[in-house]
Structure 1
Amino acid sequence: MIGRLRGTLLEKQPPHLLIDVQGVGYEVQAPMTTFYRLPELGADVTLHTHLAISESAHQLFAFADQRDRSLFRTLIKVNGVGPKMAIAILSGMEADDIARCVREDKVSALTKVPGVGKKTAERLVIELRDRLKGWELPREDLAGDLLPEPEASRDDHQEEAESALIALGYKPAEAARMISAAAKQDPAAGSQELIRLALRALSV
């Protein structure tokens, strides 16, 4: 089992990352909550990982800290929730927000995540209520504060943000609407901040 990677960040295209570990390139998938805390390309990064093995593929998922990985592992134990959906849930909400939705029975907030219908959301609330009691772990920031993104045009930022949401499972029209609303909220925002604003609006 691969539990942690430490290397150079070569590529980041949500939800995929490429990490060079002593000459070996590891392609991993990560939630947006991890992307928000990534350093710039070429910098060293440490990620906590989970290896999912199925008949069709071996997939490596990466997280900024052990708490997010722990929650991911808790989510995929819920009937009907696979790794892809768990990544989408962790992308749309911070771990504390997910716990709050479960505690307060906020089924409607969970159904805003792509692929999560009402029955699945209800199952998440019921099954996670007890399981989340022991998952809290100290949060370890991966790279401190969010670093500034490279200069790009406003249109480029919005296109990158829309592409990221589509990769997470949102429909193109929905992604465009979400990013447009986020851009109105903060016209100077980069792509990562636009994604953060768009997804944060869903959990309110």
Structure 2
Amino acid sequence: MIRLIRGTVIAHGKDHLVVEVANAVGLKIFVPEPTRTQAASGATIVLHTYLQVREDALNLFGFATEEELEIFELLLGVSGVGPKVALSTLSALSPDALRLALANNEPAVIARVPGIGKRTAEKIILELKDKVRESQAGLEALAAVADVDAEVIEALIALGYSVVEAQRAVQRLPKEATGVEERLRLALSQFSA
């Protein structure tokens, strides 16, 4: 099993990166949207990976953190959730946002992910709620950040951006940025870049 890739980003695709590893071998690695957009061509990248072996293909999925990889693997354990839906989930929701939705039993948050309907969102909560635990203090901190991010998302939607664009912009914000105004300013700067 390939668990870690270190190499140079040589190309970007719609849902993947091509990473050059030892001796000019380029690997196509499917990655979440935030990882894909943050990876600059020519930059060295380290990805925690999951190798899907199928009869007709070998697919490699890469994640910036071990936490994202763990959540991806948990999502794959839910019946009806395949790699593309799990990857789409991590493209639209940060691990913290997903944990908060699971802890607060909020299928509507998960159902906003493209490719996930209400029933699948409910199934994800039912099957993963006990597997993804967070301390009460951790949940309170996540809730505070989620409230600020919800306001930023609402403001971006009011400005004409789609829900998915707004969620992706918020997901790419640095954790150090606090407050609605600062996070909104940083999110808007992503659209002008």
Q: TM-score, normalised by structure 1?
A: 0.66
From the superposition, tell whether residues 179 and 71 of structure 1 become closer, same or farther in structure 2 (CA, over 3 Å): closer
**C-alpha displacement of 1:55:** 2.1
Q: TM-score, normalised by structure 2?
A: 0.69
From the superposition, tell whether residues 82 and 44 of structure 1 become closer, same or farther in structure 2 (CA, over 3 Å): same
Asked whether the equivalents of residues 15 and 31 of structure 2 are also in contact (C-alpha less than 8 Å), the reply is yes
Structure with more helix by fraction: 2
* Equivalent AA in structure 2 for residue 189 of structure 1: Q
- What is the aligned-residue RMSD (CA, Å)? 2.7
* Equivalent AA in structure 1 for residue 87 of structure 2: I
Q: Percent identity among equivalent residues? A: 34
Q: Deviations over 1:45-89 (max 9, x none)?
A: 111110011223210000001110011001000010000000000
* Equivalent AA in structure 2 for residue 33 of structure 1: P
Asked whether the equivalents of residues 92 and 164 of structure 2 are also in contact (C-alpha less than 8 Å), the reply is no
- In structure 1, list runs of 5 or more residues that go unmatched: 135-175, 194-204
- Other-structure match for 1:46: 46
**C-alpha displacement of 1:13:** 2.6
- Structure 2 residue 114 is the aligned partner of structure 1 residue 130: no
- Other-structure match for 2:63: 63
- Give the alignment of 1:175-190 within 5 angstroms: 178=162, 188-190=189-191
- Alpha-carbon distance in structure 2 between the residues aligned to 1:42 and 1:19: 9
- Alpha-carbon distance in structure 2 between the residues aligned to 1:124 and 1:8: 35
Which protein has greater RCO, CA pairs closer than 8 Å, 6+ apart?
A: 1
* Equivalent AA in structure 2 for residue 13 of structure 1: G
- Structure 2 residue 28 is the aligned partner of structure 1 residue 27: yes
- Other-structure match for 2:84: 84
SS of the aligned residue for 1:132 comes to: coil
- Structure 2 residue 78 is the aligned partner of structure 1 residue 94: no
Q: Deviations over 1:163-197 (max 9, x none)?
A: xxxxxxxxxxxxx96189859x8665348x8xxxx
- Alpha-carbon distance in structure 2 between the residues aligned to 1:53 and 1:28: 14
SS of the aligned residue for 1:121 comes to: helix
SS of the aligned residue for 1:10 comes to: strand
**Between Structure 1 and Structure 2, how many residues are aligned?**
150
Q: Deviations over 1:75-114 (max 9, x none)?
A: 0000100000000000001001000001111111111111
**C-alpha displacement of 1:32:** 1.7
